[in-house]
Chains A and B, each alone.
Chain A
Amino acid sequence: MESLAREEDRTQLVKRLEDEARKLRVTDIKMLEKAGSGHPGGTLSAADVIAALYLHKMRIRPEEPSWPDRDRFVLSKGHCIPIVYAALARVGFFPEDDLWTLRKFGSPLQGHPDRIRCPGIEAATGSLGQGLSMAVGMAFAGKLDAASWRVYCMVGDGESQAGQLWEAVMLGGKHGLSNLCAILDKNQVQQSDKVVNILDIDPVAAKWRDFSWHVIEIDGHDMSQVLDALDEAETVDGRATVIVSHTIKGKGVSWMELNPDWHGKAPNAEQAAIAIDELEGRISAEESQARYQRLQEGGS
């Protein structure tokens, strides 16, 4: 009975987080549409992991952003910060109304994360390849203080072409920083083309493994796998963990999926309406694509 109850709790948790991830995606599309610019593809691919972290896994106090024992999250692929803003507002770091100021003059929600202006942001990023170094530094600090808090860092697959990232992988692996969990959002596409066509990073799991990291490979859109991986990372002794999260850039909006054109372009109001209809399940992927196609052809 007890184990069955736990199973049910788990099922409910997965369902709740799936629902939260869907809401984050909808909020993200609304934010980008209002901002008139941004990066939908890499925000949508990251939504499930972000939902699992901010709405379940991380120990954080939205009312006390600098709580010393909080878990830290560094978004190394800083251009995808809107999905994190959506999560920060959802848990109460700032009012939801702030979301609609994204990328506007004077907003705490800068186009890329700014830790001084925005509560809940641990590190400014946006110059790709730097985030994991800072996360490694935070993990060292946690170890020096014998602290219980953990460090999470999401990196991109396009970003994995940057040399500094591998300097950090090498150092984090050597020191066995078990309080550090990297997540590679392997969404397969970067700005100009597919990653495999620009500069292939595979076999990337083997590379992390060679640098002594504990590697977990998952379908990053399967919430149950995401939760299992985050749980497993906490149990690994003497090694840092990387979750290679196989994802789809633009996940949830069929005509954005794996399409480099939606790396760095915001949807307009009509496109956003179609995207949200699809994300909220009011229309099928086929219908969404048909409506999008008609819109592009100048129809209604």
Chain B
Amino acid sequence: MATATREAFGDALVREGADPKHVVLDGDLMKSNFTYLFKEKYPDRFIEVGIAESNMVGVAAGLALSGKVAWASSFACFLAGRLETVRMSVGYNEANVRLAGTHAGIGIGDDGASQMALEDVAAMRALPNMSVVQPSDGVETERAVEYLAVHDGPVFLRLTRQKLDDVNPPDYRFEFGKVVQLRQGSDVCLMASGATVQEAVKAATTLEGEGISAAVVNVHTLKPLDVDGVVAAAEQGGGRVITVEDHNVVGGLGSAVAEALAQAGSSARLDILGCHDFGQSGSPEELYDAYGISAEHVAEAARVAVARS
């Protein structure tokens, strides 16, 4: 089955809504990010702020400072665009706000560059107190939302517009701050997060047919990063790591993994696949191919890495 993580988020939020501490804020995108489901069930705890994301973030902080868990949802690019308010009102205040950024990355397709958050992880990762979580499929999104309902501190939750293949089992358990080894492999380790996890899984299957043993690691928590898990996976993967992300190559998954490996004194060789430019209109498949983050590009990077040494 394939599920858009924005939709799984909307479903999960309704379930968590049974606890009256949860309040949801919308900036006129409830149908796009599926928070309308929460509105239907709990209209009193749904606040429509209009197209005013800075205010939405600040109001969410005020709710959180008064004991609520405030879920402020918009496109990821618009939340990261309000970094100044996120920084002060949410981050510095250690407010229990969940910034749910949907429509992340070039995977949104047709809408084009203006709606494609490709710098949001870098921005959010740089804020003290802020955690960054990016689920890779429907079940992981649901489990992540359940966890975030009780987590203490500010969180940026990065979600997709497009449907993603199931990569996790139905009985999946979400463990905040830990990588998930989806597949064992000894020649190369493919690390991915969010929408690119399915690409890594497909690449590993292709590589297996060619006699290359590829591990796949799902880094759902980009911050705090599971440094030990990343370093161990890199070693088990033959000291060759490929990261792939629907985000700029600066400041996202690849950067986080590079920081971890370098500071741990790892000798692993790292190749970072991701976006180098603004996005553009097209189908998600076309764009993943054009920007070098599709399964075939991941497989090719792995072949090159294995051939290199």
Contact = CB atoms under 8 A, between A and B. Distances in A.
Interface string B218-238: 000000000000000000000
B47 A133 contact: no
A123 B54 contact: no
Nearest to A137: B62
A168 B58 contact: yes
Interface in B204-248: none
B259 interface: no
Contacts of B65: 115, 122-123, 134, 137-138
B50 A171 contact: yes
B49 A171 contact: yes
Given A134-B61, A141-B62, A125 B88 contact: yes
A129 B49 CA distance: 16
A130 B88 contact: yes
A94 interface: no
A196 B104 CA distance: 42
Residue with the greatest number of chain B CB neighbours at <10 A, chosen from A122, A125, A130, A134: A134
Interface string B44-80: 1101011010110111111111111010000000000
A163 interface: yes
Contact of B66 (A126, A141, A167): A141
Nearest to B57: A133
Contact of A170 (B20, B50, B93, B94): B50
A141 B63 contact: yes
Nearest to B44: A144
B59 to A, nearest CB: 4
A171 B52 contact: yes
A171 B59 contact: yes
Contacts of A107: none
Contacts of B302: none
A171 B88 CA distance: 20
A164 interface: yes
Q: Name the prevailing secondary structure of the B interface residues.
A: helix
Interface footprint category on A: 20 to 34
B68 to A, nearest CB: 5
Given A141-B66, A167-B54, A133 B44 contact: no
Contacts of A74: 62
A251 to B, nearest CB: 28
B263 to A, nearest CB: 28
Contacts, number: 106
Contacts of B175: none
B147 interface: no
A124 interface: yes
Interface in B25-49: 44-45, 47, 49
Contact of A133 (B61, B66, B87): B61
Given A115-B65, A137-B66, A141-B67, A168 B89 contact: no
A142 interface: yes
A127 interface: yes
Contact of A138 (B62, B84, B92): B62
Nearest to A169: B55
A300 B249 CA distance: 63
Contacts of B70: 137
B44 A123 contact: no
Given A136-B59, A164-B54, A127 B88 contact: yes
A137 B94 contact: no
Nearest to A114: B92
A135 interface: yes
Contacts of A125: 88
Nearest to B51: A167
B59 A142 contact: no
Contacts of A144: 20, 23, 44-45, 68
Nearest to A126: B88
Contacts of A126: 88
Interface string A65-90: 00010001010000000000000000
A140 interface: yes
A116 B52 CA distance: 27
Interface in B154-210: none
A105 B111 CA distance: 49
B24 to A, nearest CB: 12
A168 B59 contact: yes
Given A140-B23, A164-B54, A123 B89 contact: yes
Contacts of B62: 74, 123, 133-141
B93 A124 contact: yes
B44 A137 contact: no
A264 to B, nearest CB: 19
24 contacts: A114-B92, A115-B93, A116-B93, A124-B88, A127-B84, A127-B85, A130-B54, A133-B58, A133-B61, A133-B85, A133-B89, A135-B62, A137-B59, A137-B60, A137-B65, A137-B70, A138-B66, A140-B63, A141-B23, A141-B63, A142-B66, A144-B45, A171-B52, A171-B59
Interface of A: 68, 72, 74, 114-116, 122-127, 129-130, 132-142, 144-145, 163-164, 167-168, 170-171
